[in-house]
Amino acid sequence: MQETLIKNDPDGMLERVTALPDQIREAIKICSEMRLSKNLLERKFTNVVLCGMGGSAITGDIVASLLSRELLVPFSVVRNYHLPEYVGKGTLLILVSYSGNTEETISCMMEGITRNSGIFAISSGGGLMEICNDKQLDHQMIPKGWPPRTAVGYLVIPVLKVLSILGLSRTPPDEMAEEFIPLLEDIRNLYLSGSESILKNIACDMQERLLIVYSPPELAPAARRWMCQINENSKMLAHWGTIPEMNHNELVGWCDDPLFNNYYLVFLSHQNIEQRIAKRIELSSELIRARNVPSTVLSLPGQNTAQALMTGLYMGDILSLYLASAREIDPSPVKAIDRLKNALAKSE
């Protein structure tokens, strides 16, 4: 199976994707030395806003889900050039850009500085780091050399750490990570050994179809991540949503859309799911299967929501590589994004 996964992978995307458990451990070590300025330590924050795009923005979704039962203030994610009006002096503004040069994130940073928000930035360098150095703002440096979509461990842990230091969450990141790192290592060993074929079968069945993945709200970052990784690694469109929300709109499309033969459906689930949502997944699956739509209900490994979320993210990454391999394409290049960035640069 490992040979199948690494076919047409000259830049080593497989190695980068499957390094997630090791990356999280390294990020914990890096962040053990985190020291915040008095400017942050002496403030009383009333809300947290995380700004980012793409593989950096998913950081905020993951953190919000991991800390959903212990965050002591509202937490929101901004994927835009501008901040909400409520962002101000009482806001901890976390800017996440792996490269440090994401223009939307830098735009939000400058607005946050103007509004006297508490600034904490995470990057491997670039403009974010330069602005922080110039204005003596808090910045966490992370290792260079990774495609942003493969750096999720380096990005999530610093956010968890700063929230913990500031007393906005209760569980230190190292304690939280130890709940799911061994499970991620088990999944890596299982799939790379070739002893598990669920994801490979899904990839084979859906390589000429549009994947639509739904999850309960607590696993929404995993569903979104599946879409994004299939977009970038597999070079295909995909769609994600949540249930029960899809029961109030998209279900009608599933039962009446004339193009239903072009889709492949996955419901993500876990053992601690709300029972009414579990029943909705069961009944929705039956309605959709009646139209002979290929579908799978995938129960994610894990004894709790955090474990299910992280294993769901990881398995989506692996699936995207199976799909790229099945389509015989290199998962690493993102030529369309590169072309757009070049065109934007010329238009300035």
Catalytic residue set: 232, 248, 341
Q: How far apart are CA 224 and CA 238, in angstroms?
A: 9
Which of 250, 288, 314 lies closest to 58, judged by CA? Answer: 314
Cβ(284)–Cβ(246) below 8 Å: yes
Both tokens of 97, joined, read: 């850009």
Q: How far apart are CA 291 and CA 254, in angstroms?
A: 9
Q: How far apart are CA 180 and CA 346, in angstroms?
A: 44
